[in-house]
Amino acid sequence: MSASDESLQLTATDLRMATFRLARRLRCARAVDAMSDAQLAVLATLSMHGRRTLTALAERERVTAPSMTSTVNGLEEQGYVVRTPDAEDRRRVQVDITEAGAEIVAQTIRRRDELLAEMLGELDFTEEELAVLRAASALMRKVVEP
Amino acid sequence: MSASDESLQLTATDLRMATFRLARRLRCARAVDAMSDAQLAVLATLSMHGRRTLTALAERERVTAPSMTSTVNGLEEQGYVVRTPDAEDRRRVQVDITEAGAEIVAQTIRRRDELLAEMLGELDFTEEELAVLRAASALMRKVVEP
DNA sequence: TATTGTTATACTCTATAACTATA
DNA sequence: TATAGTTATAGAGTATAACAATA
């Protein structure tokens, strides 16, 4: 049986507050200071899902094409991505992550995970509490990836 | 007994991914399109904690004073905050939220909660699953507010 | 004609440096 | 001298509008 509207609303409020605060705190931990959120999001997408066209990246990040052009320009200047013309459709430009770009993503993820693991460790959580957090994480991912 | 390092690291990775994705998704829901994240964060702080000096706001948001001056200028032009000189220390400027500003915060929170409640509802979560999310939310808030 | 991507232009947030006013 | 806040200036991300190249 599914849950009541009241439970849904209470849970939504709790989860929204907790999610925003934790995200805000973790966002401070970056591998490279010169890396913006926008640039890192593009690199993370390319790292996970491989080459993408500029339009596909813009849609995924929910920004306009000119905005994504600017972000990709910045990444290309730093050597973290390369543009490759598409042989089949010459209007298209494929964006690929470089080794340096992949390394930046890995460093940033590692640093953020270490920070969060330290924060969790300082509170002396029990295995049961950590299990609750992992179970909730799985549910949260179902919410955003239906 | 507290948890093992391995559990901490696994939980941290799960929770980081879930938190960023959900925050990203929810951030799209705003009461007013002209309201930026920076402006909304300031309004939310004032709404919760009352009047603050410009420097106090800058420290809380982890931005520089000139940056906060600019953000507060934008909010003041829209009528969401007012600056009041401090009688005791005339170097200081107190920033207060207006009724219009408080209404914007309330609207945005309401809209985000409704969006999240809908997303949760579409997945037909059970009461037990919602309870897991609420328990995790409480733990997440302990992490950021020690 | 529609799609893909870029350039032009403008606004906001951000930072550092330099400044004013006050303590 | 130190602190609170502003102004000046510059860089990045965002948007809309207009454009070129290709389908």
- Looking at the predicted structure, is the pLDDT value of residue A1 above 80? no
Please write the tens of the pLDDT for every residue from A82-105: 999 999 999 999 999 999 999 988
Set of chain A residues whose Cβ sits within 8 Å of the Cβ of B22: 15, 19, 140, 143-144
> What does the mean pLDDT of chain A come to?
90
Joined together, the tokens standing for residue B106 give: 């309330």
Which pLDDT score is estimated for A99? 95
CA B100, CA B111: separation in Å to the nearest integer? Answer: 16
Q: What is the dihedral of CA B29, B26, B142, B140, to 10 degrees?
A: 170
Confidence of residue A27 (pLDDT cuts 50, 70, 90): confident
- Burial per residue of A1-10, b for 16 or more beta-carbon CB atoms within 10 angstroms, e otherwise: eebeeebbbb
- Looking at the predicted structure, is the pLDDT value of residue A64 above 80? yes
Mutate to test the interface with A, among B20, B36, B60, B105 (most CBs of A within 10 A): B20
> CB within 8 A of A139, min separation 6: which ones?
B125, B129, B132, B133
- Looking at the predicted structure, is the pLDDT value of residue A143 above 80? yes
Which pLDDT score is estimated for A26? 83
- Average pLDDT on B75-88 reads 93
- Looking at the predicted structure, is the pLDDT value of residue A146 above 70? no
CA B81, CA B97: separation in Å to the nearest integer? Answer: 4
Joined together, the tokens standing for residue A109 give: 């993820």
Which pLDDT score is estimated for B146? 54
Per-position DSSP letters for B25-66, written without gaps between them? HHHT--S-TT--HHHHHHHHHHHHH--EEHHHHHHHHT--HH
Kindly report the nearest CA distance between residue A82 and chain B, in angstroms: 26
CA B99, CA B43: separation in Å to the nearest integer? Answer: 11
Which pLDDT score is estimated for A28? 74
* Distance CA A67 to C1' C9 in A: 13
Residue predicted with more confidence, A32 or B95: B95
CA A46, CA A38: separation in Å to the nearest integer? Answer: 13
Confidence of residue A129 (pLDDT cuts 50, 70, 90): very high
- Average pLDDT on B79-84 reads 94
Query: How is domain B5-144 classified at the CATH fold level?
Result: Arc Repressor Mutant, subunit A (1.10.10)
- Looking at the predicted structure, is the pLDDT value of residue B90 above 80? yes
- Average pLDDT on A8-23 reads 91
- Looking at the predicted structure, is the pLDDT value of residue A132 above 80? yes
Confidence of residue B24 (pLDDT cuts 50, 70, 90): confident
Confidence of residue B35 (pLDDT cuts 50, 70, 90): confident
Confidence of residue A140 (pLDDT cuts 50, 70, 90): very high
Beta strands in A47-106 (DSSP E): 52-53, 81-85, 93-97
Which pLDDT score is estimated for B38? 87
* Distance CA B125 to C1' C8 in A: 49
- The reply to whether residue A136 touches residue B141, judged by beta carbons under 8 angstroms, is no
- Looking at the predicted structure, is the pLDDT value of residue A58 above 80? yes
